[in-house]
Amino acid sequence: MSIVDTHSHLYLENFQEDLDKVIERIHENKISKVLLPNIDRESVIPLLKLYGSNTSLFSPMMGLHPTSVNTNFQKDLEFILKEKNLKNICAIGEIGLDYYWSEEFKEQQKEAFQYQIDFAKKMGLPIAVHCRNAFEDILAILEKNQDKTLKGVLHCFTGNEEQADRLIKIGFYLGIGGVLTYKNSGLDKTLKNINVEHLVLETDAPFLSPVPFRGKRNESSYTIYVAKKLAEIKNISLEELMNTTTANAIELFNLEM
C-alpha cells in the first residue's frame, strides 16, 4: 500500500529549515512518490536540485504558472522549457488560468496555456492544470485541444458535479487535496457520485493543509489525511482507495515505482 502526492512544492523556502524531517514523515506515512510542479524561472533550479537529491522519491514537472505570466512570458517559457530542464519530467505543469488576483494578463495567460499544451502534446506528456475563477475558459481550451492525445489532471479540483463530469468526459483526472476535509467545502457531496478511477491525490504543499492542520504549513505526508477522508466518503477501505489512486497516478504520469 502506498500513496502518490501528485502535486507538491517541497522545493520552496518554506521547507528549508526541516526538509529532512519532512521527508522522514513522507516515508512514515507510506507516500511512495512526490511530484514537483514548477512555478516560474526562479523555481527551476531549486526544484531540480530537490529532485536530484532523491530521484526515486521525487518526479519533476516543468511549466509556467499562470500567476507568473506577464508581458515577458515567452522569454520565461524559453528559459523554463530548455532541453536540459526536461530530463525525466513526468508532466508539463503547473499551467493554466488564474483570474482570481488579476485579469491584467488574461490574454497572455491563454497564450502561455496554449503554448504549453502544444508542447506537452509534442512530448507525449500529461499536463497539470491550475484553474482559479476561470473554469469555462479552461474547459473550452481543453475541449478544443482534445484530439485523443491530450491527457492531464485538473489540480486542486473544488468544483461541482457537472464540472467534474465535463472534465472526466474529456479524459481528465481530478486532483483531490486538503479542501476535501474542510467542513463547508461541499467537495464531499460532489465526489460522492464520482468514481475513484477518475481521482488522484495531492497536497499542493505548503498550501491548503487538510484538517487537522488547516491554517498551518502543508506537507506531502498529509496526503494520508486526504486519503482517509476520501475513503470514508466513498465508503471503501483505505487500502482500496490508496491502490486505485496510486494506479491512476502511475498511469497518468507514467511513473516508475
Nearest to 160 by CA among 186, 139, 140: 186
Contact between 225 and 15 under an 8 Å Cβ cutoff? The reply is no
* pTM given for the model: 0.97
- Asked if residue 164 belongs to a domain, the reply is yes
Nearest to 223 by CA among 31, 60, 25, 18: 31
pLDDT tens, position by position, 89-145: 999 999 999 999 999 999 999 999 999 999 999 999 999 999 999 999 999 999 999
Q: How confident is the model at residue 257 (pLDDT cuts 50, 70, 90)?
A: confident
Strand boundaries in the chain, DSSP class E:
3-5, 31-36, 58-62, 91-98, 127-132, 152-154, 173-176, 199-201
- Asked if residue 143 belongs to a domain, the reply is yes
Is the pLDDT reported for residue 213 higher than 80? yes
How high is the pLDDT of residue 1?
Answer: 76
* CATH number of the domain that residue 42 is part of: 3.20.20.140
- Asked if residue 206 belongs to a domain, the reply is yes
- Asked if residue 189 belongs to a domain, the reply is yes
Domain that holds residue 68: 3-217+227-253
- Asked if residue 222 belongs to a domain, the reply is no
How high is the pLDDT of residue 177?
Answer: 98
Is the backbone peptide bond immediately before 212 cis, with ω within 30 degrees of 0? yes
Domain total for the chain?
A: 1
CA distances from 157 to 169, 188, 230 (A): 15, 12, 13
Instruction: Tell me the mean pLDDT in the region 225-244.
Output: 98
